[in-house]
Amino acid sequence: MNRDVQPGATRLDSYVDRYAARTRGMTASEIRALFSVASRPEVVSLAGGMPNISGLPLDVVGRAISDLIANNGPMAMQYGSGQGDPVLREQICDVMRLEGIEAHPDDVCVTVGSQQAVDLVTRIFCDPGDVVICEAPSYVGALGVFKAYECEVVHAEMDSDGLVPSALEAAIVATKTAGRRIKFLYTIPNFHNPAGVSMSLARRPQILEICRRHDILILEDNPYGLLGFDSEPMRALRADESEGVIYLGSFSKTFAPGFRVGWALAPHAVREKLVLAQESATLCPPAFSQMAVSAYLAEHDWKGQIKQFREMYRERRDAMIEALDDLMPAACQWNVPTGGFYVWLTLPPGIDAKAMLPRAVTARVAYVPGTAFYADGFGSSAMRLSFCYPTPERIREGVRRLAGVLEAEMELRETFGAQLPGSTHGIESRGYDAPNTDLT
């Protein structure tokens, strides 16, 4: 490798012509720099989707891990199977049964978080230019994967009942008519990130029927399904369709993201390709993490722990909705999520969430602008607010600050008309934000 950097060029400049073409899709978010400021303690961050693990019994976890090392250390410290630990795969089948899924452990592949499962599925199915249909808006981390594999994302609308069947049908027909190849529908049916809505039970068979008729695989991403506030878990799409659905699950939100353990449940025919892709990516998912999660599931009341998480997140959801009701200008709209981590808020016409973000951070509150969740530049008048991490008091304070910034923004707009000054940080008002570690 030539280590000489041309005079006047930065080290990065000297590599720019050598990167693979596909890295053109890998760009840092324009707002990443702002989030390093947003993570300061004086800023109330309603931005990141970090699970709140303060309720985890760390003493129990610590004991389980030390027993694991004492009794099974050599295995936990060793390479394992590319498909994942067989005992954990059986336990994963028990977890999925809560959503009506009857599966065989042979069809489960353990992954490094469900994020890696999105990556592996895209790797084995998508060539550059292939189309992935996504909800509008969609999870920023999945959009980043699709972009990295040079896929084209076609969005289909959602409403308060989730993905709209007629919008899905229209997106499929338009894409096929344009001669493009659709590889799969990526959907988050429960407590959507970022939209906060769930696909109604009545809609699920319709979505399955449309995909079956058009021969389109479904990638069902379900990290929040067990985190409903008021209801039992909803029936998974995979529960009623085993051949046409790849289901993704994760222990990040129901246990802890630090272990980085998720999984894919795939049709049997796909399983081998997934395992081969996993082996080339990581050789195997980490044995230690898997065995720690497995010990936790075997020895701890994990369902009781999830119940506690649900109560904690419900309390925070209530705090956010109450604060929004009390403090936000009337022209804003938002949904009341029944689970998960997120509220999707639509601003009054003409207010641009990304342009406003530096002013919000100056006022010590952060959110994620809606454009991050679209591959096509839409979403400028929306934002995602997370209620998972801060305390209820901090959530209220954050909403109070946000309402103040918004009112000032609306006044500014009245003064300057449609030409509201944009960001002071060179942030453009439209465009796609690549995934950012702050944007989980």
Binding positions for ligand PMP, rule: CB under 6 A: 49, 113-115, 139, 141, 188, 193, 221, 223, 250, 252, 257, 262, 440
CA–CA distances in Å: residue 372 to residues 52, 154, 193, 349, 377: 23, 15, 12, 19, 8
DSSP letter at 428 equals -
CB within 8 A of 31, min separation 6: which ones? Answer: 354, 357, 369, 372, 427, 433, 436
Comparison of 248 and 405: residue with beta carbon closer to ligand PMP: 248
CA–CA distances in Å: residue 56 to residues 51, 185, 252, 274, 307: 11, 34, 12, 32, 12
DSSP letter at 339 equals B
Please state the closest distance from residue 260 (CB atom) to ligand PMP, in A.
Answer: 7
Please state the closest distance from residue 116 (CB atom) to ligand PMP, in A.
Answer: 7
Distance CA 104, CA 395 (A): 42
Please state the closest distance from residue 390 (CB atom) to ligand PMP, in A.
Answer: 17
**346: β partners:** 333, 382
Please state the closest distance from residue 193 (CB atom) to ligand PMP, in A.
Answer: 4
Question: What phi, psi does 17 have (nearest 5°)?
Answer: -85, -5
- Terminal C-alpha separation, the chain: 35
> Which has the closest alpha carbon to 301: 57, 62, 94, 88?
57
Comparison of 115 and 289: residue with beta carbon closer to ligand PMP: 115
Comparison of 126 and 351: residue with beta carbon closer to ligand PMP: 126
Please state the closest distance from residue 348 (CB atom) to ligand PMP, in A.
Answer: 28
CB within 8 A of 30, min separation 6: which ones? Answer: 354, 426, 427, 428, 431, 433
Distance CA 232, CA 333 (A): 27
Please state the closest distance from residue 436 (CB atom) to ligand PMP, in A.
Answer: 12
Q: Are 208 and 187 in contact (CB under 8 A)?
A: no
Comparison of 103 and 248: residue with beta carbon closer to ligand PMP: 248
Please state the closest distance from residue 289 (CB atom) to ligand PMP, in A.
Answer: 12
DSSP string, 142-199: HHHHHHHTTPEEEEEEEETTEE-HHHHHHHHHHHHHTTPPEEEEEE--SS-TTT----
Please state the closest distance from residue 282 (CB atom) to ligand PMP, in A.
Answer: 13
Other C-beta atoms lying within 10 Å of the C-beta of residue 28: 11
Comparison of 210 and 368: residue with beta carbon closer to ligand PMP: 368
Q: Are 222 and 264 in contact (CB under 8 A)?
A: no
Angle (nearest 5°) at CA 119 between 113 and 120:
95
Please state the closest distance from residue 189 (CB atom) to ligand PMP, in A.
Answer: 10
In the block, residue with structure tokens 């009701």: 325
Please state the closest distance from residue 138 (CB atom) to ligand PMP, in A.
Answer: 8
Comparison of 234 and 406: residue with beta carbon closer to ligand PMP: 234
Comparison of 107 and 221: residue with beta carbon closer to ligand PMP: 221
Please state the closest distance from residue 133 (CB atom) to ligand PMP, in A.
Answer: 16
Residue whose Cβ sits closest to ligand PMP: 113
Q: Are 119 and 352 in contact (CB under 8 A)?
A: no
Comparison of 135 and 152: residue with beta carbon closer to ligand PMP: 135
Comparison of 371 and 423: residue with beta carbon closer to ligand PMP: 371
